Amino acid sequence: MGEAKFDLSWIDFTVVAIYFCAIIAHGLYVSRKLEGGSEGYFLAGRSLPWYLIGFSLFASNMSGSSFVGLMGGSYANGVSIFNYEWTAAFVLILFAIFILPSYLRAKISTVPEFLEFRYDVRSRRAFSLFTILAIMFIDTAGALYAGGLVISNVTEYLNIWTAVAALALVAGIYTILGGLSAVVVTDTVQAILLIVGAAALFWIGLDEVGGWSNLFEGVPDAKQHLILPASDDFLPWTGLWGVILLGFY
């Protein structure tokens, strides 16, 4: 099977350029209206409606690394890779019932702040350092690589390193300038685009393979099951407890 080729016209590049300019402009606009110190920056003054927060949570979790990485993971290991997704819903329910009330009562802005409130400043600094390193080398690195991989494969003007740098620069500018207010609004736009795009790709892809009945044709039986036996070397059902534990992080 040959490598897929994409023919992008000037209008495609124009749309992307306008989108990048719009989110940077929004970051600048929000930065001029920021007030209230750290609460205004990190919590948007506690004035965000629930639906914007929901869209932001979705976009933050379902980034390019999800759309690219999960597809590659499912191709290599089967549908069991999605255990990493559905278990998150279970974790969020427990968080909302048992953990979130403590955060709200303490009126904190960040998790490290809660650790200092509950223990001491050493706990705050240790967790902050660990989180920064983990986000840099795991979460952000994976998301930037996945996004850069897509961009570098659909255009001949940017290699993967340049694409990653451009994504990091744009995201960094509007995040640093506008704080949570800018991030949430941008995430909402991205979440809507992700949902609409994913739905379109699902129906187009399903139509191309000849419908649901043909979707798993030629796929080994072991890759068609969500729950795998305890003897599986990739993700046995006994390992789901570890996945749930990972979700709390």
14 within a domain of the structure (yes/no): no
Look at residue 239 and tell me if it is in a domain: yes
Q: Containing domain of residue 169, as a range?
A: 19-248
What angle, rounded to 10 degrees, do the helices at 111-118 and 121-134 form?
Answer: 160
pLDDT beyond 70 at 90: yes
Of the pLDDT bands very low, low, confident and very high (cuts 50, 70, 90), residue 24 is confident
Q: Please answer whether residues 183 and 43 qualify as being in contact, where contact means their C-beta atoms are separated by less than 8 angstroms.
A: no
Cα gap 23→188, rounded to integer Å: 12
Count of domains observed in the chain: 1
Residue 154 falls inside a structural domain = yes
Asked if the structure places residue 4 within a domain, the reply is no
Residue 153 lies in a domain: yes
Is 5 within a domain? no
The per-residue pLDDT of the chain, averaged, comes to: 79
With 90 as the cut, is the pLDDT of residue 11 above it?
A: no
Residues 197-206 have a mean pLDDT of 88
Give the model's pLDDT for residue 1.
43
Question: pTM value?
Answer: 0.67
> pLDDT digits over 60-78, tens only?
777 667 777 788 888 888 8
Confidence at 2, pLDDT banded by 50, 70, 90: very low
Is residue 201 a part of any domain in this protein?
yes
| 44: pLDDT strictly greater than 70 | no
pLDDT for res 23: 74
pLDDT tens for residues 94-141? Answer: 888 988 888 788 777 778 888 888 898 999 999 999 988 988 887 788
Q: With respect to residue 227, please indicate whether it lies within any of the assigned structural domains.
A: yes
Q: Note the helical H segments in the chain.
A: 10-33, 37-43, 50-61, 64-77, 83-94, 100-106, 111-118, 121-134, 140-154, 160-208, 240-248
